[in-house]
Structure 1
Amino acid sequence: MTETEDRLIDAILGHVVFDGWSDTSFDAAVAETGVDPVVARGLFPRGARDLARAWHDRGDDRMVAAMEAADLSDLRYSEKVAQAVWLRIEAIDDKEALRRAMVQNVLPLNAPDGARMLWQTADRIWTLLGDSSDDYNWYTKRMTLSGVIGSTLLFWLGDDTPDASATRDFLDRRIENVMQFEKLKSRVTTGPLGRALNAPGSLLSMIRPPRPRDDLPGRSH
């Protein structure tokens, strides 16, 4: 992320509380930072919507940095997942900005963006923790964790307990649910039904994670 992008993100946060993630807030941030409006639109063609996405990406980057700097050696796997989600919450530098973003993301036009951002955060957490799934589990893990992140963020927005302790308890319960689901899924997939569903040639056996393309124009070889 460039310095200009960082400046625009920081600037718009001060306006979102009044005008939401809107063109009004975007134009105010551009004027406040002195960034050329043409440059700003080049960086963020959809204006505030793209700035909201960049703000989300920056939060993910901060979560990853915090996880990489932390000593997680004494934590169980489920605790590492919970810690990653918690660090993602701590990376949110403006609670009201998140509230405004989540309100906008329930609108049909914006819902795909909101879903992609939650999925991206879940993907970065699983990848960071070394997930090596190479089948449909790659999708189910990210789907369930996306749900945990979304519900925990909604809970946190309404949490006024000291140090958001109620949110942490809520998160721990949701992570435990995920781990129970993974255990149940493992038992099913190793049983007769699971072996049939995963048999060579079956639909499940053909599901694979998306692969990065290296044959597109502009890519080095």
Structure 2
Amino acid sequence: MMYTDPAKRALLDAILPHVAFDGWSEDAFKAAIAASDVTPDRARSLCPRGATDLAVLFHVEGDRKMKEALAEADLADLRFRDRVARALRIRLDVTEDKEAVRRGTTLFALPHLAPEGAKLMWGTADAIWTALGDTSDDVNWYTKRATLSGVWASVVLYWLGDQSVDHTATDDFIDRRIDEVMQIEKLKAKVNANPLLKPLTGPLGRLAGMVRAPAARQDFKVPGMWRKAGPR
């Protein structure tokens, strides 16, 4: 588990009441410092980008809570597509501040922060696949996470505008999006099995077979450090 300084967590707790009014802004960050026991210098060292770093932590904390909830959930009798759907629902359920997500969506839509937002979406998709026991180590490692990142992004946007009781409309939307992905996977299987397309799919398949997932990082006891992976 990634280490987070308790002072940074204190700043996150302190900023959330202000995000609904000021967004993930400099004003909100200053208010968080004033409301916490963290000194301004310490706060700036922990969060060089101010509120943006706390917005990132807010998202990462949501992923952590989701993984903890998934570890306790009984998914044994569910089809795999239903396990993915359950994971997406749990990720929404552990989000305690919907307005903070809305403001974060606006923040990470800014051009200079869009790569950071995409990274966070990818991180959620990776957390879900890893928690569900994904063992792929080839190109499928990337395609699974890229596809689920897109699904998660669309789910968040739909959920933010959902006014239905207990977000039942979002539940239905999740099911539809996953069904669409499954249709794409079935189409890919048909294409790969078509002998007329072998001259095209064969070389592409061999090229894809050369792709490998990143080596797993193994944490040392020192927070934030990991062992460099050896040759594959």
Would the TM-score normalized by the shorter structure come out above 0.5? yes
Residue among 195, 203, 210 paired with 1:196:
203
The Cα shift of 1:213 comes to 6.7
Question: Residue 160 of structure 1 corresponds to which residue in structure 2?
Answer: 163
Q: Distance in 2 between matches of 1:24 and 1:75?
A: 46
Q: Deviations over 1:12-47 (max 9, x none)?
A: 111111111111111111110121122222222111
Answer yes or no: is 1:46 the counterpart of 2:49.
yes
Q: Deviations over 1:63-109 (max 9, x none)?
A: 00000011111111001000111111111111111111111211111
The 1:220–1:124 alpha-carbon spacing in structure 2 relative to 1, beyond 3 Å, is: closer
TM-score with structure 2 setting the length: 0.86
Question: Residue 189 of structure 2 corresponds to which residue in structure 1?
Answer: 186
Answer yes or no: is 1:29 the counterpart of 2:32.
yes
The 1:2–1:211 alpha-carbon spacing in structure 2 relative to 1, beyond 3 Å, is: same
Kindly report structure 1 stretches of 4+ aligned residues shifted beyond 4 Å: 218-221
The Cα shift of 1:196 comes to 2.7
Q: Deviations over 1:132-177 (max 9, x none)?
A: 2222211111111011111111111111110000000001111111
Question: Residue 208 of structure 1 corresponds to which residue in structure 2?
Answer: 212
The Cα shift of 1:126 comes to 0.7
The Cα shift of 1:185 comes to 2.4
Partner of 1:152, secondary structure, is helix
Answer yes or no: is 1:77 the counterpart of 2:84.
no
Q: Distance in 1 between matches of 2:21 and 2:67?
A: 30
Q: How does 1:56-205 map to 2 (within 5 A)?
A: 56-191=59-194, 192=198, 193-199=200-206, 202=207, 204-205=208-209
Q: Distance in 1 between matches of 2:90 and 2:5?
A: 23
Question: Residue 15 of structure 1 corresponds to which residue in structure 2?
Answer: 18
8 Å CA contact 2:70, 2:87 repeated in 1: yes
Partner of 2:209, secondary structure, is helix
The 1:22–1:124 alpha-carbon spacing in structure 2 relative to 1, beyond 3 Å, is: same
Q: Tell me how many residue pairs correspond in the alignment.
A: 215
| Amino-acid identity (%) | 50
The Cα shift of 1:179 comes to 2.0
Q: Distance in 2 between matches of 1:151 and 1:5?
A: 29
Q: Distance in 2 between matches of 1:96 and 1:158?
A: 11
Could you tell me which amino acid in structure 2 is paired with residue 195 of structure 1? G
Long gaps (5+) in structure 2? 219-224
Partner of 1:71, secondary structure, is coil
Query: Cα RMSD (Å) of the superposition?
Result: 1.8
Deviates more, 1:175-184 or 1:94-103: 175-184
Deviates more, 1:190-199 or 1:81-90: 190-199
Q: Deviations over 1:50-75 (max 9, x none)?
A: 10010101000000000001111111
Q: Distance in 2 between matches of 1:64 and 1:219?
A: 21
The 1:76–1:212 alpha-carbon spacing in structure 2 relative to 1, beyond 3 Å, is: closer
